[in-house]
Structure formats: structure tokens, C-alpha cells
Amino acid sequence: MKSQYRVVVIGGGVVGSSVLYHLAKFGWTDVVMLERRRLASGSSWHAAGGIHALNADPNMAALQAYTIDLLSEIEKESGQNIGLHMTGGLTLAGTPERWEWLQANYRVFQSIGIDDCELMTPKQAQERCPIMSTDGVLGAMWADREGYIDTTGTVQAYATAAKKRGAEYYEETKVERLTQTADGWEVVTDKGTITCEHVVNAAGLWAKQVGRMAGIELPVSPLKHHYLITDTVPEVAAADFEMPMTVDLEGFTYMRQDQKGILVGIYEIEHEHWAMDGAPWGYGEELFQEQLDRIENELTLGFERYPAIQDVGIKNWVNGAFTFSPDGNPLVGPVPGKRGYWSACAVMAGFLQGGGVGKSLAEWMIHGEPEADVWSMDVARYGKFAENRQYIKETTGQFYSRRFVMSYPNEQLPAGRPLKMAPAHDAMTQAGCRWGVSWDLETPLYFAPATDFEENLTLKRSNAHDIVGAECRNARENVGMVDITGFSRYEISGPNAEKWLNKLLATKLPTPGRARLAVMLSPEGRLKGDLTLLNWGDGTWWLMGSYYLRSWHMRWFNDHLEDGVEIRDLGEELCGFGLTGPNSRKVLQKLVNDEITLPFMGCTKADVGLVSARIARMSVAGELGFEINCRMGDHVKLRRILLEAGAEFGMQEYGFNAMLSLRLEKSFGIWSAEFTQDRTPGMTGMDRWIAWDKGDFIGREAALAERDGGWPAKCLVTLEIDAYDADASGYEPVWSGDELVGFVTSGGYGHTVNKSIAMALVNVDQTAEGTPLKVHVVGKERAAKVIASSPYDPTGQAMRG
């Protein structure tokens, strides 16, 4: 072992071994992996080893598909048998809602290129898995690329393949301390001290402690998980094929063949945390005693689903710990505020996602960003609030218990809530507000007129549909007021602020007292932000964007910060309200002394009654509108005086559900839907905001290459869908005849144009207005057509009026 490496990977499980392999594969061979015990110790050795490409998150599904394709390559390259069994797999639906959900997801998988799936009747499913009872099964989905592997062999294969490419790994080497230096990190082990540029925390059950060595509190916790392995099952032994991987969602179990018996795993509703501060250092290949009383209900359902095991013995019980994040997805990437420290932990399904995690992190470290959009597993999707122990306990437990529970897009889960609330939260609740959550903040969804109103959970339009519609129409016809605490705000100042912003942003900077849409790119010319830049005219600037991206954007800003520039996240200091609609100026005029002459996209400081505010004339709804920003302590007062001033003009409060409908009517894209970090300006129409002649900016050369090299393969369009009782929401496939030509980025109902609308990325030859297409909405084929952008007020007169 040398005393200096470029990268030190801590943890010799499947994730650490994959990171090591991919770093070496992509050309960084001066890398080492340190394992305190033996390869695969911790969670990897006792994992069930199931693999499948399906995931409700399309980006995670793509990474899982990559991992599956990689496994046979790793086996061949390493010469290590990984015990790969590609049996195919079934996912069962036992309720009408679940069967509807499965049919919808089948179409989503088609849209992201997973084309080896098919829907089946219960009889067809039983033919694939004859030991299964189909009692209560309404339908199933089959996937070719499912199966299982030998877990220890797979870890060894990753590590061996990495070593063959020039990387190193050492077992029985415990990391005891980390110290950040001017050039990187000092890694103190029980075998000596190593200096390096980068440290990767792939410590699994010990990720919490390895984070704390660097002063980091990662939102992770281990939970216990059961599975059993039966003795020989006669029906299995007699079959001339292997039983497929089978997931019984209503039974909370998964099953695969194990030699001549089967393995049945259980996601217990009654979850149990273990070692929330990290596993003991001496823990390695130990297991816990099975807890039959805790899993009795799920176990009963499992034996009913597979009657063939009722008369055979159980050979082994496994009750071991796995590490989970609050939403169950991995925590990957550079940790904000700790240059050179990388997270690769909380990979609950390590053998399923480990290949994609290793690839993405290696690309990120070497090239500056990964090829795929990895937001759903980016460690920066959480902030300081997620360090709270109770938050971690509630959210990780909720995820575990709901692993196989039916979820709905309009469902609001309770764990870790309410946490942060805008000052006027209680008053808004009394007014009927129903709340969602963005990052740590409670955000308004809509205002129900009745105190006993309860929204029904559905994949289709809910009983809140008409409530949201009324809010939309009032905002278009009179004036609506929306809480905008859930917008992020960053203050940029200092003698070099303007110079820095010119380099950071691809957009021309606004003049004093004006605002402008600000496009931010990566060096590779892909999107990094759709922000709004405000020039207050006093040497300070604001960037505003999506609230849940605060940690993510601050990491990017700080990574590119230069001398003479200061940046502050104002998210804990400022909040406000937005006014939307033709009467919004009249409301505001009653509260300010001077006549309002603020031009469209203008910004100024002003007193609104007793509240000192910063006002910008803009609106994501495409109406005449004003965003009024104030201190947290003024939020209650601001709401009160705005409501009083707006009473004679028909003002009503509205929520983010209406805001999203209104923006769709204007074909305004949003982040995480139309705009993602794997897309380019040309694909999304953001190129029209680029100032090509302003000089150098991050991503300029790549953006020019796209502009001058021809159109991208897909472009963003607006669709009108012949929908009935459901609307597209995202990732539904778009067809021209039988040809897959794109996918929906977001959708909903346009309440003031009375149309079901979606935005979609489609092949460039399908973008002409009037082009007939088809879209699957909640699994059902619906006619669609390309329409002109901005079906409401296409000339923009309302917001400029």
C-alpha cells in the first residue's frame, strides 16, 4: 500500500468495488479501496441478490438496466463466476388500482427503452411460475431481464476486474480518521497514513461514522430485513426451468429460486431500525435472530402465495441490516462544502444499482458531471434539515414500510412533517389550505372550501380537480394570491459579482431595476439551471429558482466561486406572496404610495403598507403579476393587508397545483420536468435565451457546437390530448402510429383553455403543428396532436399589459 493515491475508496462492498472498477475503467488507475474486514462484509454478503431493470423512477430504472448489462462483462473480464441466473421476472397486481398502476408503468418503461416487458393474465403468469397461487391476482407484468446473482462472487468480480485495470484494494485495513488538507485528504488507517485528492464514502453500514470523520451528518440509517430459504421443494426440483423472480406487491414479498428450493423475502410493515449511529466496528458477517412475531402477517401471505412451500422445511433464516436514505434512493456525489469528499452510500439495492452508481460517480469525478441525470440519487437533494435524527428515523421507516405499498401521485405522506412552515402557515390552514412539501418546507397545494374535505387518492383526476379549476379561473379573471416562500433566493454581491455572473450564466445580464430568465449550463453544454436573475441596481443581484434545489445550486455556485464575489442563500430569511391576474396591479396600488409604473420584468424596492418589500413584476402563470418578497417576520402582516386590499377585486388565495396548471397553458417548462441536467438548450428551447455574442461563459463552446451542428434529435413541443378522466404527468410514451417517437415531460389539465395539455420531447420530424400522435395516459391509449406553444394568450399580452 502506497502513502499517496489520487482516490481512496472506503468500503469493500458491491458499491465500493463498482466505484473502484469504473474509476480504473475510465482511466484513473492511481486509486485504492480500503476494506476494514473482508470484501462483501456488512450488507453485501447476505443480500438476496435479486436483479431487475424495473423502477418507478425512470432514471433509476436506466441505471439498473446498465448494471444488469454490465454483470456479464464483469464476469468475463474478472474470470470470477458471479452465479448469474437470468430467470425473467413477474410483478403481480392484486387490486384494480395496482393493476391500473402496473399497466401505466408498463408504458413508462417503454418510453425509456425497456422493451422486454409484457403484460399478462393471471393464467399466463402462473404458466411462468407454476408454484404460485393466482388467488387475488388481477394481472402481472413480465420482464425478461430479471434474475439473481451470487453476491460475494459479484463483489469479488468487480474488485478483481478493477485490479486487472491497475487499481488496488486492501482488506483488513480500517480507516480511523480523516483530515481535510489544502490539497485533499489525509486518510489515517491502522496500517499507515495515506494522502489523496479524493475520498469516497462507500462504507455501507458504517457510512454514518465515515461521514462524521469529515464533519458530515449523512441522512442514513440501517433497518433490519428478513428473508428465508426453504429446503427442497418437489415442484421446483421437478421443473425443467428455474422459477422466475416474482414480486407480490399486495403480499409484501419477493421470491426467487435458490438451488432446489426458493428464497422468500419480506418488506415488513412493522419496520425496525438498528444502529442509527452506524454499525459497531466489530460487526461483519453476523445476523440477527429472526423475529417471527414482527413478520407474521407478511409470512402468512407468502405461504399462501406459494402453497408448495407449506409442507417443506426452512433451511435458513436471514435477518440482516441494510442502509436506507429518507426516500430509499442512494446518496451519491460530491458532498456540499467538503471539496474532494464523495458519497456513495445508502444504496439499498446494491447489486441492482451498484453498477450505475459506480459509473455515475466515476464520470462525475473525472469529467465533472455524469452522463445521466442523477438528481434522484444526488446527495445534494437533502439539506441540513435531514441531519435531524427523528427526521431520519421517521422517513427511512416510512420508506421501508411502504416499499410495496401502493403510492399515488397526489398522495401526501406524513413522515418528517410538518417541519418548516411559512409564518402565515396557520392562518392559511384556517383558510382551507391543503399542504404539500418541497424539501423541508410546507407548500400550499390548494384551498378547500370545506373543512371536512378529503382528497381521494387516485392515478386519475381527483375530487380536488374542480377546486383547482376555480382557483385557475379566478387568477385569470380577477386576481389570485399565492405563497412564494417556496421559491429559492440567492444574493450575489461584491466587486466582481457582475463579472462572475457573466461567466456563470449563458444569458445577457439585466440592467439595473430589471430581471431576466437566466440559463445556466455545465461545461458540456447541458442545462444546470433555469433561474431568474434580478439586478436591484445597488450592486446586489438575486438569483431565484426552485426551492428544493437549494443545496444543489449552492454546491454549484460555491464550486465556481471566485475572489471578490459573495453569495448567500436567503431561504431562511425571506418569503413572500405573488399576485396573479388582471386586477393584481389594482390590489398593489392600494398599498403603495407612488403610482406603479414598474415595467414587465422590472424589479424595485418599495413599501407595501407597513412592510418593506422587494417587488418584481413577473408571473409563472403568464398573467399580469407581481412577486412581493419580504422578511419572514413580515409574512403574516403582508398576507393580511393583501387580502384586505384585494377583497373588492375578487382576490382569492391559490396553491401550487393551480400554478402548475396555469404554467402548462403557457408552455412554461420547469426544472425536473422539461429541464434536466441531461438535456441541452437546443432540445428544450432554452437556446433562445442564450446571449451568443456576450463573450465567454461556462458551456459556451459546447452550446455553440450544438447550435452550429444542426438540430438535436428531439425537441420540446406542446400537446393537446384527447383525455377523459386522467391527464398525463410525465414519462408517458408518445407514438406516431406504432413508432415510439418521444415521451411526456409533464402534463395536466388546462382549466382556462379546457384542454388536457402535456409537454413532450419528440423526434424533430414530429414537431410540426397539427401532427397527429398518440399518448398512453394511465395505460390507456389516447389521441393527441402537436399544438402551437402557449395555448393561452400566445402573444403574451396578458402578462405585459
Q: What is the DSSP letter of 648?
A: G
Q: What cell numbers appear for 557 in the block?
A: 455556485
pLDDT for residue 96: 96
Q: How far apart, in Å, are the Cα atoms of 575 and each of 309, 417, 484, 585, 608?
A: 59, 20, 6, 20, 14
In the chain, % of residues over pLDDT 90 = 95
pLDDT for residue 59: 79
CB-based contacts of 311, cutoff 8 Å, min separation 6: none
Structure confidence by residue, pLDDT tens digits, 164-187: 999 999 999 999 999 999 999 999
- Radius of gyration (C-alpha) of the chain in whole angstroms: 27
pLDDT for residue 711: 81
Structure confidence by residue, pLDDT tens digits, 615-645: 999 999 999 999 999 999 999 999 999 999 9
pLDDT band (50, 70, 90) for residue 735: very high
Helix (H) or strand (E) holding 787: strand 780-787
Say which CATH class 674-800 falls into.
Answer: mainly beta
In the chain, % of residues over pLDDT 70 = 100
Structure confidence by residue, pLDDT tens digits, 415-467: 999 999 999 999 999 999 999 999 999 999 999 988 889 999 999 999 999 99
Q: What are phi and psi of 644, to 5 degrees?
A: -65, -45
Q: What cell numbers appear for 213 in the block?
A: 470523520
CB-based contacts of 731, cutoff 8 Å, min separation 6: 58, 108, 111, 112, 743, 744
Assign residue 352 a region: left if phi > 0, alpha if psi is -120 to 50, beta otherwise? alpha
Whether 518 contacts 531, CB under 8 Å: yes
Prior bond of 418 cis (ω within 30°): yes
Averaged pLDDT for residues 365-387: 96
Calculate ∠ Cα 537-542-546, nearest 5°: 155
Q: Is the pLDDT at 374 greater than 80, yes or no?
A: yes
pLDDT for residue 449: 87
CB-based contacts of 500, cutoff 8 Å, min separation 6: 492, 494, 561, 562, 564, 565
CA–CA separation, 148 and 132 (whole Å): 19
**Residue keyed to cell 390548494:** 446
Domain ranges of the chain: 4-367, 674-800
CA–CA separation, 687 and 672 (whole Å): 18
pLDDT for residue 55: 76
CA–CA separation, 537 and 314 (whole Å): 74
Q: Is the pLDDT at 502 greater than 90, yes or no?
A: yes
pLDDT band (50, 70, 90) for residue 652: very high
Q: Strands, DSSP E only, in 202-268?
A: 221-230, 245-248, 253-258, 261-266
Whether 331 contacts 343, CB under 8 Å: yes
Please state, rounded to an integer, the average pLDDT across all residues of the chain.
96
Number of Cβ within 10 Å of residue 216's Cβ equals: 20
CB-based contacts of 527, cutoff 8 Å, min separation 6: 519, 520, 521, 675, 676, 677, 679, 680, 681, 684, 686
Averaged pLDDT for residues 95-111: 93
Fold of 4-367: FAD/NAD(P)-binding domain (3.50.50)
Domain 4-367 shares a fold with domain 674-800: no
Averaged pLDDT for residues 463-484: 98
Q: Strands, DSSP E only, in 475-535?
A: 479-483, 487-493, 514-521, 527-535
Coil/strand/helix, residue 209:
helix
DSSP 484-495: -TTEEEEEEEST
pLDDT for residue 291: 95
Averaged pLDDT for residues 311-326: 96
Q: Which of 424, 344, 409 is nearest to 377 (CA)?
A: 344
Q: Which of 524-528, 605-609, 667-671, 711-715 has the lowest mean pLDDT?
A: 711-715
Q: Is the pLDDT at 60 greater than 90, yes or no?
A: no
Structure confidence by residue, pLDDT tens digits, 669-723: 999 999 999 999 999 999 999 999 999 999 999 999 999 998 899 999 999 999 9
CB-based contacts of 660, cutoff 8 Å, min separation 6: 670, 746, 748
